[in-house]
Amino acid sequence: MRKIALSFVFIFILTACDSSERSPVAYGKCVLCHNMPGTGGGKTGPDLAKSKMTFEQFKKQLENGSSWEGKPPRIRKLKVSIMPRQIGLSENDMHELYQFIHRK
């Protein structure tokens, strides 16, 4: 039941954005913790639009989660300080996510 409710929340968030701000499908893995970019972040994850990570650092974060050598310092303290690694993202998914969160 909880998964169904979370699915509806995710769909609502994605459809609430106008078509010029449609998020990549893979952002569904991010939105529950990070909220939509530029909205101040979520309770458990920072606003990704404020991230200063390069694409290579972003890719390492997705592939390894919170633990990897050379990781930049955190933006702010959060209730949850460990991000799990994200499984099943292609290189193309990662590029789309990076471009989406850094769009101006």
Type of residue found at 100: F
73-91 in b/e form (b: 16+ CB < 10 A) is: eeeeebeeeebeebeebee
In angstroms, the CA 2 to CA 38 distance is 27
Instruction: Tell me if 11 sits within 8 A of 33, measured CB to CB.
Output: no
pTM score of the predicted model: 0.71
Which pLDDT score, from 0 to 100, does residue 12 have? Answer: 46
Instruction: Tell me if 84 sits within 8 A of 65, measured CB to CB.
Output: yes
For the chain, 104 residues long, give each residue's pLDDT as a single digit of tens: 655 554 444 444 444 444 345 788 889 889 888 889 988 887 788 889 988 899 999 999 999 998 888 887 776 666 666 889 999 999 999 999 999 998 86
